[in-house]
Amino acid sequence: MYLPPHFEETRPEVLLQIIRSYPLGTLVTLGSQGLMANHVPFEYDPSTPAPGTLRCHVARANPVWKDFDTNTQALVIFAGPNAYISPSWYEAKREHGKVVPTYNYVVVHAHGAMRIIEDSQWLHGLVSRLTDSFESKRTQPWSVSDAPPDYIEKQLGAIVGIEIAIERLIGKSKASQNRSEGDQVGVIRGLRESNEQNAMAMWMDSNLRDKKK
């Protein structure tokens, strides 16, 4: 990943919060047919040696758990807030007009070796925790135990677990840090007034406040 110094995000707590807040990761592996990408939600476990462990499950019919190069680390990409940035929001547009559009985004790359797990008890625990996490904000959350045990057992037989002990985290926060404070304030205002991608506006606003501390 191209990573200019002013866009590099190295704070572990920020990188891990992105993983928690945007758990749908893109799992990139190298197989016999070349690169393969799968999109699956991940559980992040901070209790293991830092920086932690990622866990997910895939369909047993998915070749990714059989066809991957054990000598090449897997890459999981977590995409955070993102938004198109109009040059009309920049203070510089009114000053000299030498501005162009861009796109802001936050992304985390996690690298590590994959371990394949077929144990049904392990899979039951993973599926239960993922479900409880995603259902936690619902008024009447659904639980794995709500379904018939024999049905759940059959479903577990159709999936395979993947565990990745994170060995390297790389973060990029392209959030107009290369622009003046006036331009950044203008972008935040523009995003909020357009009622689009407020998550990016909140991210940029937090960055500016942190910078002033």
In this predicted structure, what is the pLDDT of residue 213?
A: 61
In this predicted structure, what is the pLDDT of residue 82?
A: 92
In this predicted structure, what is the pLDDT of residue 94?
A: 83
Region for 22 from its dihedrals, namely left if φ exceeds 0, alpha if ψ lies in -120 to 50, beta otherwise: beta
Give me the residue label for tokens 């799992």.
Answer: 27
| Torsion sign across C-alpha atoms 145, 149, 155, 160 | positive
In this predicted structure, what is the pLDDT of residue 110?
A: 98
Whether 149 maps to a domain, the answer reads yes
Whether 130 maps to a domain, the answer reads yes
- Helix 198-212 to helix 181-193 angle, to the nearest 10 degrees? 150
Whether 212 maps to a domain, the answer reads no
Count of domains forming the chain: 1
Whether 114 maps to a domain, the answer reads yes
Kindly report the pTM of this predicted structure. Answer: 0.90
Whether 151 maps to a domain, the answer reads yes
194 CB neighbour count, 10 Å cutoff: 14
Contact residues for 91 (Cβ-Cβ < 8 A; gap 6+): 180, 182, 183, 185, 186
Whether 71 maps to a domain, the answer reads yes
CATH number where 13 lies: 2.30.110.10
Q: Which domain holds residue 25?
A: 5-81+104-177
Whether 144 maps to a domain, the answer reads yes
Give me the residue label for tokens 């802001």.
Answer: 104
In this predicted structure, what is the pLDDT of residue 117?
A: 98
In this predicted structure, what is the pLDDT of residue 108?
A: 98
In this predicted structure, what is the pLDDT of residue 199?
A: 79
Whether 186 maps to a domain, the answer reads no
Q: Per-10-residue mean pLDDT for the chain, 213 residues long?
A: 95 95 97 97 95 97 97 97 93 86 96 98 97 94 95 97 97 94 91 77 81 66
